């Protein structure tokens, strides 16, 4: 969603932004960006509340909040007819009423927090968070007793709220508990601690609310033990990459999904994976709704990084009618996260928090997780379905989250191909010796496709060491590969009698050795990953039908086609398809069709330089200029499952200039 133009906030909105940003940017307070905030206006007519699916740290004057008519929100809780409705019907009606209660000019697609009714009952400034220090108690079997000890000397102790399904049911339960608390203490609580959920604080001012949050969390953190990292042997980069490929392959085989995989290791992970009860702690179940919505439940534990082991733990999760895990604790390597690029850090932080909480809860009687009925409610709850949709974003295309390397991506056809693949949802690594120009390609793609996952890979394709380093960086970032498009190339022209040998050798190095080295590294990765893949050589019509005074180009482009045919024979048994695309003359954005080359063509054919492009266009049957997108579309087709049985072939995209018979 485009960012709205910033406005001058009124005092209540300014306070909402302040408490949201202060808490949302503090990793000690927020796990995975979760939490809610609200502020009521001084006249008591309105309440500003965080919008669903927005990270607290990202809220500003132009996005991430809604303003509600307070009396209409409170009326929802007092409507007895709502309580009688079937769950889904009731929750859908509540969403409708909350949207109807909005009094602002924010887009209708931005929903008020589903907990708005709960916020409406509380004080002027409300902060709701899920910090790990609180989770260590609310997800422990003896957590309530521990909290009672911590706050034993409080004149107005925190209100403990037994677990209730979030939304309307939770709000109604708290409504009753608040009435009881008020009878006992003559006021509402300023602190509420919700079982299997988190922390609510309320205060009259923004500063007081933030101070209260920090005070509560500071006191809860004191009895906790920081993880002790046991001595461990070194973890090799090769072992990590092998595990990434194994996880990616196992997930694709089990679910059909293509996902990036990233490795993480910190003290929390190192200490947790060394515990003898690590697997049992994770198998206790999800701790809270966020862990289910964004991470598909807790991480799974794998005692080793073998592909069969990983397939087994994934199948065990699926056999329970649960979603495939997004996080894996693989002993002794650490944490691996497999999810959409935009959710990688959220899932990582949730996994860190989950391991920390489970370790602490083990000291307080054991883990108290969501039971199956509670999980089922979250899975079908309309509000969480909406959050999942927001997290996933708009449909990204037919090749969503497949990983491609495009060489020569800094300009010309390489740039056009990279744009076309990103438009179809692929994660695109832009490999080029000119890293600054490759970054320009990334900027161009990002402008039109802001959610595109892009990686600039500085790479000299003629250097084996450079090619190896580029792929190592790719695997460190994304943990896999699905497509290589060899598009880097040069076209030194000139008559045979005058052509310098160094220009011939340069063409051989870039157009042949470069294709070979990049394909060699790609093939090794694709074989190890075990889910097939596609290699595409960008050749030329000159690879099929030679052109005058073009010896290096004719030879290398023909060689690229023949290399692809041989690779197709070698790699087919691994499900790896290899094809060639032969473009006609593409002038748009081309470094090959520079003024010097155009002048040499004009001289060759006895025409003026400004007649060269019309001359070549007129040689095609379709009489139309070929664009970069035309080539990109052909590449997209060969990458797709629609071309799943096409290998060893040459697709000519030249407007009908060369007929392959």
Residues whose CB falls within 8 Å of the CB of residue 384, separated by 6 or more in sequence, listed in order: 289, 292, 293, 378
Q: pTM higher than 0.75, yes or no? A: yes
pLDDT in the model for residue 31: 80
Residue 553 annotated in active site: yes
DSSP 33-91: T--EEEEE-TTSSEEEEEBTT--GGG-BTTBSEEEEEHHHHHHHHT-HHHHHS-HHHHH
Task: State the DSSP H helix or E strand holding residue 406, giving kind and residue range, or none if neither.
Answer: strand 403-407
d(CA 159, CA 139): 16
Question: Boundaries of CATH 3.40.50.720 in the chain?
Answer: 403-591+627-653
Q: In the chain, which stretches have pLDDT less than 70?
A: 1-9, 32-33, 381-397, 660-661
Question: Boundaries of CATH 3.40.225.10 in the chain?
Answer: 11-221, 237-392
pLDDT in the model for residue 320: 81
- CATH architecture observed for domain 403-591+627-653: 3-Layer(aba) Sandwich (3.40)
* Domain 237-392 class in CATH: alpha beta
Token output for 212: 């209260």
d(CA 377, CA 374): 5
Catalytic residue among 46, 553, 597, 615: 553
Whether the Cβ atoms of residue 285 and residue 292 lie closer than 8 Å to each other? no
CATH of domain 11-221: 3.40.225.10
């Amino acid at each position: 969603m485009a960012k709205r133009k910033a406005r001058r906030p009124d005092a209540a909105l300014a306070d909402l932004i302040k408490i949201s940003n202060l808490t949302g940017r503090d990793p000690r307070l927020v796990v995975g960006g979760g939490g809610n905030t609200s502020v009521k206006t001084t006249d008591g007519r309105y309440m500003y509340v965080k919008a669903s699916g927005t990270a607290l740290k990202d809220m500003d004057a132009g996005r991430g909040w809604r303003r509600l008519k307070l009396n209409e929100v409170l009326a929802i809780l007092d409507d007895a007819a709502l309580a009688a409705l079937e769950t889904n019907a009731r929750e859908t009606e509540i969403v409708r009423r909350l949207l109807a209660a909005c009094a602002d000019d924010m887009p209708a697609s931005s929903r008020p927090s589903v907990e708005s009714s709960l916020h409406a009952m509380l004080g002027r400034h409300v902060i709701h968070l899920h910090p790990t220090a609180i989770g260590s108690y609310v997800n422990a079997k003896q957590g309530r007793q521990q909290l009672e000890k911590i706050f034993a000397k409080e004149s107005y102790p925190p209100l403990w709220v037994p677990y209730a399904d979030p939304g309307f049911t939770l709000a109604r339960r708290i409504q009753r508990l608040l009435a009881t608390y008020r009878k006992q203490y003559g006021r509402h609580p300023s602190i509420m601690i919700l079982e299997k959920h988190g922390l609510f604080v309320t205060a009259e001012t923004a500063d007081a609310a933030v101070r209260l949050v920090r005070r509560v969390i500071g006191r809860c953190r004191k009895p906790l033990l920081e993880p002790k990292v046991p001595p461990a042997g070194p973890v090799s980069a090769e072992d990590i990459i092998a595990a990434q490929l194994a996880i990616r392959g196992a997930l694709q085989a089990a679910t059909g999904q293509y996902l990036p995989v990233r490795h993480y290791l910190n003290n929390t992970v190192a200490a947790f994976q060394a515990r003898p009860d690590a697997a049992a702690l994770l198998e206790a179940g999800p701790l809270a709704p966020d862990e289910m919505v964004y991470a598909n439940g807790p991480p799974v534990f794998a005692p080793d990084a073998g592909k069969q082991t990983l397939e087994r733990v994934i199948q065990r999760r699926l056999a329970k009618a649960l979603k495939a895990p997004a996080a894996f604790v693989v002993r002794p390597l650490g944490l691996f996260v497999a999810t959409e690029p935009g959710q990688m850090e959220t899932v990582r932080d949730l996994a860190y928090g989950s391991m920390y909480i489970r370790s602490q809860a083990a000291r307080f009687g054991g883990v108290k997780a969501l039971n199956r009925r509670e999980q089922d409610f979250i899975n079908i709850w309309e509000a969480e379905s909406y959050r999942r949709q927001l997290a996933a974003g708009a449909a990204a295309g037919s090749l969503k989250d497949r990983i491609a390397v495009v060489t020569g991506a800094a300009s010309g056809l390489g740039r056009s191909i990279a744009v076309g693949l990103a438009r179809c949802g692929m994660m695109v690594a832009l490999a080029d010796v000119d890293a600054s120009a490759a970054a320009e390609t990334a900027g161009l793609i990002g402008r039109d496709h802001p959610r595109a996952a892009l990686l600039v890979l500085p790479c000299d394709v003629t250097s084996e060491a450079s090619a190896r380093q580029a792929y190592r960086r790719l695997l460190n970032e994304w943990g896999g590969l699905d497509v290589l498009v060899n598009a880097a190339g040069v076209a030194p022209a000139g008559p045979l009698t005058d052509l310098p040998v160094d220009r011939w050798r340069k063409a051989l190095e870039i157009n042949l050795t470069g294709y070979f080295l990049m394909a060699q590294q790609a093939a090794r990765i694709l074989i190890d990953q075990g889910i097939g893949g596609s290699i595409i050589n960008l050749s030329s019509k000159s690879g099929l039908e030679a052109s005058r005074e073009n010896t290096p180009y004719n030879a290398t482009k023909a060689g690229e086609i023949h290399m692809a045919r041989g690779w197709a024979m070698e790699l087919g048994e691994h499900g790896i398809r290899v094809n060639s695309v032969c473009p006609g003359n593409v002038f748009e954005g081309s470094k090959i069709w520079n003024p010097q080359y155009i002048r040499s063509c004009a001289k060759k054919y006895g025409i003026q330089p400004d007649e060269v492009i019309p001359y070549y266009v007129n040689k095609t049957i379709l009489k139309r200029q070929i664009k970069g997108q035309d080539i990109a579309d052909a590449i997209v087709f060969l990458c797709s499952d629609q071309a799943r049985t096409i290998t060893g072939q040459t697709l000519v995209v030249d407007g009908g200039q060369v007929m392959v018979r």
